[in-house]
Amino acid sequence: MGEVEHVVGMDIGGTKMLAVVFDDQFKPVGRFRKKSKAKVPPEQHINNIIQGALDDAGVQKIRGVGMGSPGPLDPDTGVIIDTPNLGWKDFPLAGIVQDHFGVPAVVDNDVNMGTYGEWCFGEVQDCRNVLGMFPGTGVGGGIIIDGKLYHGASGSAGEVGHMTLEVDGPFCGCGKNGCLEGLASRIAIAKEVVALAARGDAPYILENCGTDLSKIRSGMLSRAIAAGDTQVERVVRHAAFYVGVGVANLINVLSPEAVVLGGGLVEAMEDLYLDEVTRAVNDHAMPFLRKNVRIVPAKLGDDAVAMGAARLIHDKLAS
């Protein structure tokens, strides 16, 4: 019997970091999660989290590490160019992990890794061209073209959340106006919902969150809608429709075989999102391009980025 060969997949988020050890069948055999902010230097923090997952799995030997991180970053060198949330600038993430563990490491955008995971392990494994769309705190997108993650000339393609959908639309976090993200992210929804609460038009929200935007999480929106806050539903549907307009634009440009919808908002309100996105695609994608496109919900949940990252390092080692 040969030695079991493990890989590590890591999800580096703005608030938490998760490392998962997978066996050669991609079954998770150990994991470790920590807040992103730490007292130790970031290189030490990351190595500690990976070590924590190895300890949890009781594994000493690994073949490689895949990491999904917020961008922009250079997937060829594994250097994070700039991640304001984490205070990283020209941070050689792959090199740090490679040097410490003595194995190859690969870094890609977290949304790309999530899309790759959903493609490799979810419902659309038979497709060669896949769009992943993940509305959440922002609106991220991942593009798979001809069976490979697409990076463009800069290495950072796929900023689908910053497509302009209304030239004079609402402010976006990027400093522009009318981006998909400014119209459809959780923050874009939450600001409308707290305004509803302040006006007395969202009783469930007012009772449970007051008018504090930070308390408006995906689950809270879902519960408010179930409890009968009809104006909250209207706001969420409006945002979901814009996600669908973004999907429609990308169907028109990229003509994928499948679209995977994921992220916190979709997980909390899957039917509503599929409903509105399908409606928007029917309204805004060209009939001959949309007719064979499957629109499916993501299946991997919180492990999507780690699984995609683990699979990507596995595929790179195999190629």
247 binds a second copy (CB under 8 A): no
**From residue 5, how far is each of 46, 67, 231, 245, 299 by CA, in Å?**
22, 18, 52, 43, 25
Q: Which residues inside 49-78 make contact with a second copy, applying CB under 8 A?
A: 72
How many amino acids of this chain bind a second copy (CB under 8 A)? 47
Question: From the list 16, 34, 63, 128, which residue makes contact with a second copy (rule: CB under 8 A)?
Answer: 128
User: Could you give the CA distance from residue 313 to residue 218 in angstroms, rounded to a whole number?
Assistant: 31
Q: What is the CA radius of gyration of the chain?
A: 20
296 binds a second copy (CB under 8 A): no
165 binds a second copy (CB under 8 A): yes
256 binds a second copy (CB under 8 A): yes
Quick one: which segment of 14-22, 95-103, 158-166, 270-278 binds a second copy (CB under 8 A)? 158-166
* Beta-strand relationship, 258-261 and 130-135: parallel
User: Could you give the CA distance from residue 183 to residue 61 in angstroms, rounded to a whole number?
Assistant: 46
The alpha carbon torsion through 279, 283, 285, 291 (nearest 10 deg) reads 60
- If phi > 0 it is left, if psi is from -120 to 50 it is alpha, else beta; for residue 78 that is left
Sign of the four-CA dihedral 301, 302, 303, 304: positive
* Beta-strand relationship, 28-35 and 16-22: antiparallel
292 binds a second copy (CB under 8 A): yes
One character per residue 190-219, x = contact with a second copy (rule: CB under 8 A): ------------------------------
Residue 140 pairs in a beta bridge with: 134
295 binds a second copy (CB under 8 A): no
State the minimum distance, in angstroms, from the CB of residue 286 to a second copy: 5
Instruction: Name every residue whose Cβ is closer than 8 Å to that of residue 132 and which is 6 or more positions away in sequence.
Output: 111, 112, 114, 115, 118, 119, 140, 141, 142, 143, 144, 259, 260, 262, 298
Q: In what order do the strands lie in the sheet with 88-91?
A: 73-74, 79-83, 88-91
126 binds a second copy (CB under 8 A): no
Quick one: which segment of 16-24, 101-109, 127-135, 309-317 binds a second copy (CB under 8 A)? 127-135
User: Could you give the CA distance from residue 211 to residue 192 in angstroms, rounded to a whole number?
Assistant: 10
170 binds a second copy (CB under 8 A): no
253 binds a second copy (CB under 8 A): yes
State the minimum distance, in angstroms, from the CB of residue 254 to a second copy: 6
278 binds a second copy (CB under 8 A): no
157 binds a second copy (CB under 8 A): yes
Contact yes or no for 216/209 (Cβ under 8 A): yes
11 binds a second copy (CB under 8 A): no
Question: From the list 174, 212, 219, 226, which residue makes contact with a second copy (rule: CB under 8 A)?
Answer: 174
301 binds a second copy (CB under 8 A): no
284 binds a second copy (CB under 8 A): yes
236 binds a second copy (CB under 8 A): no
Write out the residues near a second copy by the rule CB under 8 A.
Answer: 72, 81-82, 127-129, 141, 143, 145, 150-160, 162-167, 174, 176, 242, 245, 248-250, 252-257, 283-286, 288-289, 292-293
